[in-house]
A = this chain, B = another copy of it.
């Protein structure tokens, strides 16, 4: 496979994977592009390379900065902003875990805590709701603690955990 073909495939694969994880295509593609770029890129260059409008590029660059998975730098004597991505996959994974935990898991846990508070009752529906929501809360909290731990650890810790598993 030649470079150009591989590059396109990489960006496309990342875009598709992103979509199925609720991250929009433009955002995943910009991230993919920065991930494999040897040097930081300007908005102009991103627009050009991915054939997307200025507005779209700008919006999604902001979102990626907000997620903390890309960063910006200034070049001396140049007013443009240049963007680059963390190349350490482990750091990237940790950041994604932190954000999704905060945005999705924590609100769900909060809601489950309220729901599982429902007072005991003889009604079968209420009983089942209480039981299921308690179980789910328990499981979700365990996953949350696991992710919390992972998001605070280094790559080596992850490899050690893997070894322990097998």
Chain A residues engaging chain B, CB cutoff 8 angstroms: 1-3, 6-7, 9-10, 13, 16-17, 19-22, 35-39, 87, 89-90, 93, 103-104, 107-108, 111-112, 114-115, 117-118, 121, 123-129, 131-133, 135-136, 139, 142, 145-146, 149, 158-159, 161-162, 164-166
| A90 closest partner in B (C-beta) | B139
Q: Once the chains bind, are A112 and B13 in contact (CB under 8 Å)?
A: yes
Q: Once the chains bind, are A139 and B3 in contact (CB under 8 Å)?
A: no
| A137 closest partner in B (C-beta) | B89
A-B contact pairs, 24 of them (CB 8 A): A1-B118, A2-B118, A3-B118, A6-B126, A7-B125, A9-B115, A13-B111, A16-B107, A16-B108, A35-B132, A36-B128, A36-B132, A38-B124, A89-B132, A89-B135, A89-B139, A90-B139, A142-B159, A145-B162, A145-B166, A149-B165, A149-B166, A161-B161, A164-B164
Residue numbers in B under 8 Å from A108 (CB-CB): 13, 16-17
Most buried by B among A7, A117, A124, A166: A7
User: Residue A9 contacts which of B17, B93, B114, B125 (CB distance < 8 angstroms)?
Assistant: B114
